[in-house]
Structure 1
Amino acid sequence: MKIHFLGGAGTVTGSKTLIESENLNVLIDCGMFQGVKELRLRNREPLGFDASKIDFVLLTHGHLDHCGWLPKLVEQGFKGKIFCTAPTKEIAKLILLDSAKIQEEEAQKANEEFYSKHHPALPLYTVHDAEQVFPLLRVVDKDVPVVLSEDFSFSFFYASHILGACSISVQVEGKILVFSGDIGQDDDVLLYPTVKPKVADYVFLESTYGNRLHTNSNPLFDLEILINNTFQRGGNVVIPSFAVERVQTVMYLLWQLKLQDRIPDIPYIIDTPMGVNVLQVFQENRSWHKLNFEQCEQMCGMFTIISDFRDTIETIYDKHPKVVIAASGMVTGGRVLSYLERYLGDANNLVALVGYQAEGTRGQKLLEGATEIKMYGKMIAVKAAVHLIDGLSAHGDQNDLLNWLSEIEHNPKKVFLVHGEPEAAQTLKSKIVEKYNVDCDVPFLGEVVEI
């Protein structure tokens, strides 16, 4: 059979891996590219494989870089079923609608303010396009084998990372292929530890933090100090965060600090159109996380949740100190841009980054100390403090990734490292070869291998 690395190879975005077997063509994830312009432009190109000949899609989870290209896949002719867990189905629907709405709004703004070289600027896809995906989504429980054909079956197993996220074990043509998806940390405050695979002939392992170890810093202490110091300056704290799971993790930590009277009595705001709906998904899928109904209710009661953009504008111009959590986590779009456009130029304010920042994203540029960043076609001076709160990433670090391989009964024939920048993947490759003495490869974008 052939494996096509159509995305998420040599980069942490655009995850798409196609299994071309004798009888079926099955796509693992269908993510949108983010970050540097060269990658973003790929979102507007054909897939590299006839979409109408893909029989099924298996989704590991609902983040944009794993499901965000589904509307384009459907537009290019895909008509099959998309299998996922129950939380992933709901989250993917929210993510796709939010993505489409943001693209429509940004295209409209670019056309009104004439800062795009395209006339007119067009969204990658619309809300209507996103909605064409929904009838194709099919829910599958984790740990339940699903037979797609005589020689092709799969099952999901728990991966932590975000609500509903799973790795996938595929049995095809007498071989077992295991796709990690994104793997979470074993000590996540909200989610349970990852389940490790027991049998695999070929492994496709993410490598986001393949060259990094999470620090032993205390996120609670970091948040406490940063919020209190910013409050004393009369400033605002802006926390760019993915609307799914990272927002809930930060909410949980802030709630714990508030219960202990360690942070001031100021407004704590969640500004995302998805906010209310994502919290509803948490309430309806409590077997996937550690919080009970009462804890969810108490935590949410601490926050003001904004969905209407008019409330966003009112909040931005409110001069009182506040803490705002807004998407997106890598500052690639969304409501957080409106806050940063106003707040970055004030040294009293703080931007607290709480997750991985991919190459070429505004988040990465802020983290690297950029003195100005481009938003809405203009350069914005960066005078606000920028701080990374380590330990809150939804991704496991190098040790977590190595340990994820530790329970496989016999060495796989090969491990393919995907979803990582080149340096991270190459470093992890060396560690895997050293620890397990297994053949390991880092595929390039567009590569096709036979197994």
Structure 2
Amino acid sequence: MSPLASTVQFLGATGTVTGSRYLIESGGARILVDCGLFQGYKVLRERNWRPFPVAAASIDAVVLTHAHLDHSGYLPRLVREGFRGPVYCTRATKDLCGLLLPDSGRLLEEEARFAALKGYSRHAHPEPLYDEAAARAALRHLKPVAFEQPFNLPGGATASFIPAGHILGAAQVTLRLGDRRLHFTGDLGRPLDPLLPPPAPLPPCDVLVCESTYGDRSHPRIDGEAEIAEVVRRVAARGGVAIVPAFAVGRAQELLLHLARLQQQGTIPRMPVYLNSPMAASATGLYQRHVGEHRLSAAECDEFFGIAKVVESVEDSKALNRRHGPMIIISASGMLTGGRVLHHIEAFAGDPRNAILLSGYQAGGTRGAALRDGQRALRMFGRSVAIRAEVVQLESFSAHADAEEILDWLRRSTAPPEQVFVTHGEPAAADALRARIKRELGWAARVPDQAETVTV
């Protein structure tokens, strides 16, 4: 190998939509693009507990595309294992990580304590992957950088962020490694997202690492507000409770926007709307701080996000389970992997007057995926909870570009890359997008293997 050659090792997001981790070795330095948690199936979650493939202390810098935990959530563990370098991200990503990572640490601690209390862990003394203190320690490494502002990395590399859509602060990343340009899409948003502008055009690059979450399908071309209005009217008519598991960042705010507009129009009856996620409430406030990076004005943020009553304390959250409908509860997590929403499912899922509205992608192996696929009982808190409530998968709510939108975005590139690596998708989705890129665009594309190393 030439002394100037650079390599990328795919340490995650291969064969799965989670665990985004790409290790670049260039100029004698190690740079990690994304540092995400594996989520979903147990066999994937167990990867979080394995030793990192290289010594954490040997990594010189981390570059984050955005704040979602499947891209940032392993960072506290990496720091605990000895990483001491900077973590570069956009300003909004830094703010969101300040919410997401400590919350993740708290949830992991709570799950470990609850497992110990109820005795459903196979470990005598279950420990969290990391705790809140480790998450807060990781935050001290974050170095915010503005969009379009190049910054230097160890080993002589440079990098820059451009908007990706998807969520507030989400970025595509271009790395310049000598005379080679390596571009990571991160998670691409949609061109007509109600909250965020479309992804910036693909810049010229030699190698492209492209996400494929929806690489094998197209989102239904239906009106999101009409879709949610139909379900809400149905639940309200029977006096039920609509439980909406929602990602605290992005999805919760989009739902509030639609519900506010529908209530203003009289399309749905006015009823109590509760936002039972302190993190989602805090994330909603960040839209005010980052006006100009999304489609809403400061006044519109106040107007639309103000329809919900924020549930702050655990006691108020428990009291909500004793209330009756009609009402709407928006709560995290979006794939039912943890959080307060599980207690609402436990309280309300047994009543057929109620409904559970799945509002986004459900990764394989999650409780959300089990509900989507028709399972009528969920394992929670060491026992089986019967599901008699109506379950609805809202088809129009996605922060990810679908296959057509990704291909349209690629087609507009002024200079095709030499090689495309298709990642961040389930096997069928990644391979379907790979085949279409090769067939329709004539570009070299393939799906890398887990832990594979390639020269770029």
TM-score after normalising by structure 2: 0.97
Q: Could you tell me how far apart the structure 2 residues matched to 1:75 and 1:149 are?
A: 21
Structure 1 letter corresponding to 2:396: G
The residue aligned with 2:411 is 406
What is the deviation of 1:161?
Answer: 0.0
Q: Is the 8 A contact 2:27 2:155 kept in 1?
A: no
Measure how far apart 1:279 and its partner are: 1.7
Are residues 1:187 and 2:199 paired? no
Aligned to 2:378: 373
- What's the CA shift string for 1:85-136, capped at 9, x where partnerless? 1110010121111111111111111111111111111111111010111111
- 1:18 maps to which residue? 23
Aligned to 1:89: 94
Shift of residue 146 of structure 1? 0.9
Aligned equivalents of 2:333, 2:45: Cα separation in 1: 16
CA drift at 1:149:
4.7
1:424 matched residue in structure 2 = 429
- Map of 1:437 onto structure 2: 442
Picking from 81, 92, 114, the partner of 1:76 is 81
Distance 2:308 2:360 in 1: 21
Identity value in percent: 38
5+ residue gaps, structure 2, are 1-5
* 2:351 corresponding residue in structure 1: 346
- Give 1:336's aligned residue: 341
Q: What is the CA–CA distance in structure 2 between the aligned matches of 1:260 and 1:337, rounded to whole Å?
A: 32
Alignment counterpart, residue 269 of structure 2, candidates 264, 276, 289? 264
Give 5+ residue unaligned stretches, structure 1.
none
Offset of residue 445 of structure 1: 1.5
CA distance in 1, matches of 2:203, 2:230: 43
Q: Which moved more, 1:158-167 or 1:220-229?
A: 220-229
Report the Cα distance in structure 1 between the residues aligned to 2:298 and 2:11, rounded to whole angstroms.
41
**SS in structure 1 opposite 2:204?**
coil
Structure 1 CA distance for aligned equivalents of residues 147 and 167 of structure 2: 14
Counterpart of 2:236 in structure 1 is 231
Q: Is the 8 A contact 2:275 2:281 kept in 1?
A: no
Alpha-carbon distance, 1:58 to partner: 0.5
**1:139-198 C-alpha deviation (Å, 9 max, x unpaired):** 100011112257310100000000000100110021000000000000000101110112
- For 1:49 and 1:3, how far apart are their aligned partners in 2? 13
Greater shift, 273-282 or 305-314, is seen at 273-282
Which position in structure 2 is the counterpart of 1:278?
283
Q: Does 1:211 align with 2:221?
A: no
Aligned to 1:153: 158
Q: Which amino acid aligns with 2:246?
A: S
1:117-196 counterparts in 2 under 5 A? 117-149=122-154, 151-196=156-201
CA distance in 1, matches of 2:40, 2:87: 26
Q: CA deviation at 1:293?
A: 1.0
Range 224-233 or range 207-216, more displaced: 224-233
State whether residues 26 and 155 of structure 2, in contact with CA within 8 Å, keep that contact through their aligned partners in structure 1.
no
Asked whether the 8 Å contact 1:98–1:273 carries over to 2, the reply is no
CA contact (8 A) 2:175 2:181 kept: yes
Name the aligned partner's letter for residue 78 of structure 2: L
What residue is the counterpart of 1:358 in the other structure? 363
Structure 1 counterpart of 2:423, one-letter code = V
Provide the secondary structure at the position in 1 that maps to 2:384.
strand
Query: TM-score, normalised on structure 1?
Result: 0.98
With 341-350 and 399-408 compared, the bigger mean Cα shift is at: 399-408
Give the counterpart letter for 1:190 in structure 2. L
* Aligned-pair CA distance for 1:405: 1.6
The Cα shift of 1:62 comes to 0.4
Question: Is 2:18–2:36's contact at 8 Å kept on the other side of the alignment?
Answer: yes
Secondary structure of 2:255 counterpart? helix
Q: Is the Cα contact below 8 Å between 2:60 and 2:154 reproduced in 1?
A: no
Is 2:434–2:446's contact at 8 Å kept on the other side of the alignment?
A: yes
Amino acid at match of 1:310: E
Compute the displacement of 1:82 (Å): 0.3
Provide the alpha-carbon RMSD of the alignment.
Answer: 1.1
What is the match of residue 254 of structure 1? 259
Give 3-state SS (helix, strand or coil) of 2:11's partner: strand
CA distances 1:316-342 after superposition (whole Å, capped 9, x unpaired): 111232101101111111111010011
Per mean C-alpha deviation after superposition, the further-off stretch among 357-366 and 217-226 is: 217-226
The offset of 1:441, in angstroms, is 1.1
Distance (Å, rounded) in 1 between the aligned partners of 2:202 and 2:149: 15
The amino acid of 1:146's aligned partner reads F
Q: Give the partner amino acid of 2:303.
A: Q
Check the 8 A contact 2:27/2:156 in 1, yes or no: no
C-alpha distance in structure 1 between counterparts of 2:27 and 2:300, whole Å: 50
Give the aligned residue type for 1:22.
G
Describe the SS at the equivalent of 1:318. Answer: coil
Deviation at 1:68, TM superposition (A): 0.3
For residues 356-393 of structure 1, what are the alpha-carbon distances to aligned partners after superposition, in whole Å with 9 as ceiling and x for unaligned? 11111111110000021111111111111111111210
The answer on whether the counterparts of 1:151 and 1:174 sit within 8 Å (CA) in structure 2 is no
* Matched residue, 1:51: 56
Does the aligned pair in 1 maintain the 2:171–2:186 contact within 8 Å?
Answer: yes
Match of 2:390 in 1: 385
Could you say which residue in structure 1 is the equivalent of 2:14?
9
Deviations for 1:231-260, whole angstroms, at most 9, x for unmatched residues?
111210011110001110000000100111
- Alignment CA distance shift 1:37-1:149 (3 Å): closer
User: Structure 2 counterpart of 1:206, which letter?
Assistant: E
Aligned residues: 451
Partners of 1:410 and 1:277 lie apart in 2 by: 41
Q: Which residue of 1 aligns with 2:299?
A: 294
**CA distance in 1 between partners of 2:203 and 2:260 (Å):** 38
- Matches of 1:99 and 1:119, distance apart in 2: 22
Contact 1:198 1:407 in 2 (8 A): no
3-state SS, counterpart of residue 188 of structure 1 = coil
